[in-house]
Amino acid sequence: MLDSSALRVQVLAYGLKIRDVMTTKIFAVSRNCTMGDVQTIMKNNGISGVPVVDERRVVGIISMHDILIALENSRLQELVTKHMTTDVKTLSEELPLSFAISAFSNHPFRRFPVVNQANELVGIITPRNINLALIRELSRQLDEIEEELAPSAVPKANSVFHRAYRLTRYDFEHAGMASAELKRELKKRGVPPKIIRRAAIVSYELEINIVAHSHGGTLTLFIDDHRMRITAIDFGPGIPDLDAAMREGFSTANEWIRSQGFGAGMGLPNAKRVSDEFEIQSGVEMGTMVKAIVFLNRNR
Amino acid sequence: MILKQMVDKLEAIPVYVPENWEEIQVGSVFASDLISDILVSEGEEQLLLTSLTTPQVVRTAAIVGAAAVIIVHRKQIPPGLAGSARIEEIPLFYSSTSKYDACVRLGKMEDAP
């Protein structure tokens, strides 16, 4: 189990999307701008990277380093297209913030252009944006907790159960511990056995998935009077074909995983089948996030 | 069916049993060596027959609310499994009978008048 402060940050990173955190004040240039133009923009606005766009599509990026090289070689009058990096890694605005955190860990870049579904530039995300957003959210949640702790005349129902568990690659010895705790908690709350079974299966399938197929990750359980919500997130490698992964019988498991009794390609479809709500997002090299809900007072 | 009668039929040896286990009722039998299959099974109060001996077998049985687990085709099992069964409170046995033979014997029990 993670300590409470780490848990809080993990939960924030799951809950926020890149769109909520990025800056939308974008300084971008077109292909016919010069390096000198970019230098002026950087200087006047205190920024260190400028995307090059063609009809709002990102075609390159100029960094402070590119400007310094151009300055050294007296080439500031040349077009940006001669100096820009064209292999630009962008992030989708719909992705969870945790994916951006993974992207900054996995790449040396100090900023990522953010694009919408039409692949148009809509923002920029930097580590500073992330830090500020996390601090803002922490402070907002602190206010909420203080409000919750304030004396109240209204009798309280069952308290909220909120835990995060770290899962390690190939650690089948401990995989399933979170689900066992979930089961005990639901039993304690008097939830009907059939619903407990569904909730435990979702949790267990997602735990095993992280252990068997990812580089490791976390599973967060949230239980209140009405629902059990699971957020399972891993640090990659991501699923290249989500439709295939959601089909029964599709599996990338190796022989060792199969020898443990897993890897029949039923995990994700089964987790979806027994959930009342199910959402999955994945980014190659970034990770996969699954959110699943089982309502505790709704029989099927 | 009564678990005790099924255990006797397979000449299974107890590894962990709670108190009053002889009275446990079994609703259905499920035989598989694939944990994924166990997790998609629909039966209630299942007796699980498997030749897998990892701690995940016991954990999976607990997740689906199985009545008991009999590990078949085994003359012995890893010592750590008893602890897992105790933690999960899952009655656990093993039997040297093959999975196929175990299914046949239990099937005949069900058919008996």
Please write the tens of the pLDDT for every residue from A226-248: 999 999 988 888 888 888 889 88
- Between strands B28-31 and B46-50, the pairing is parallel
* Exposed / middle / buried, residue B81 (Cβ in 10 Å: 0-12, 13-18, 19+): buried
The range of the structural domain enclosing residue B25 comes to: 3-111
Is the distance from CB of A43 to CB of A18 less than 8 angstroms?
Answer: no
Residue appearing with tokens 């990026």: A61
- SS3 of A237, please? coil
**What residues of B are in contact with residue A213 (Cβ under 8 Å)?**
none
pLDDT of A153 > 60? The answer is no
The single-letter DSSP state of residue A100 is H
pLDDT value of position A6: 60
- Is the pLDDT at A139 greater than 80? The verdict is no
Q: Where are the domains of chain A?
A: 4-129, 161-295
Between helix A177-188 and helix A193-213 the angle, nearest 10°, is 160
Contacts of A260 in chain B (CB under 8 A): 35, 54, 56
> Taking 80 as the threshold, does the pLDDT of residue B22 lie above it?
yes
Structure tokens of B63? 């997740």
Tokens read off for A268? 């994700």
Q: Return mean pLDDT, chain A.
A: 87
Q: Which CATH number fits domain A4-129: 3.90.100.10, 3.20.20.70, 3.10.580.10, 3.30.1380.10?
A: 3.10.580.10
Query: First-to-last CA distance in chain A?
Result: 32
How high is the pLDDT of residue B55? 86
Whether residue B91 has a cis bond before it, omega within 30° of 0: no
**How far is residue B12's CA from residue B57's CA, in Å, rounded to a whole number?**
17
Q: Do domains A4-129 and A161-295 have the same CATH topology?
A: no
Q: End-to-end distance of chain B based on CA atoms, in angstroms?
A: 12
Place of tokens 């970019």: A38
Which pLDDT tens digit goes with each residue over B27-53? Answer: 999 999 999 889 988 888 899 999 999
- Per DSSP, the residues of B21-52 read GGG-B--EEEE-S-HHHHHH---SSEEEEE--
CATH superfamily of A161-295: Histidine kinase-like ATPase, C-terminal domain (3.30.565.10)
- Distance separating alpha carbons of residues A232 and A238, to the nearest angstrom: 13
Closest residue of chain A to B59, computed from CA coordinates? A176
- In Å, how far are A135, A155, A246, A265 from A294, measured between CA atoms? 31, 25, 19, 22
Residue A289: how many other CB atoms lie within 10 Å:
21
Alpha carbons within 13 angstroms on the beta-carbon side of residue A96 total 25
Number of domains in chain B: 1
Q: What CATH number is associated with residue B75?
A: 3.40.1390.20
Q: Which residues of B touch A172 (CB under 8 A)?
A: 54-56
> What pLDDT score was predicted for residue A182?
95
Q: Chain A: nearest CA to B37, how far in angstroms? A: 8
Q: Which two tokens stand for residue A248?
A: 């029964």
Give the lowest-confidence range in A59-68, A284-293, B7-16: A284-293
Q: How far is A85 from chain B (nearest CA, A)?
A: 46
The pLDDT of residue A155: 52
ipTM confidence score: 0.85
Give the best residue of A262, A268, A270, A294 to mutate against chain B (max B CB count within 10 A): A262
Give the residue among A105, A245, A47, A200 at the shortest CA–CA distance from B66.
Answer: A200
Contacts 24+ apart (CB under 8 A), A265-268: A265/B36, A266/B36, A266/B37, A266/B39, A266/B40, A267/A205, A267/A206, A267/A208, A267/A209, A267/B36, A268/A205, A268/A209
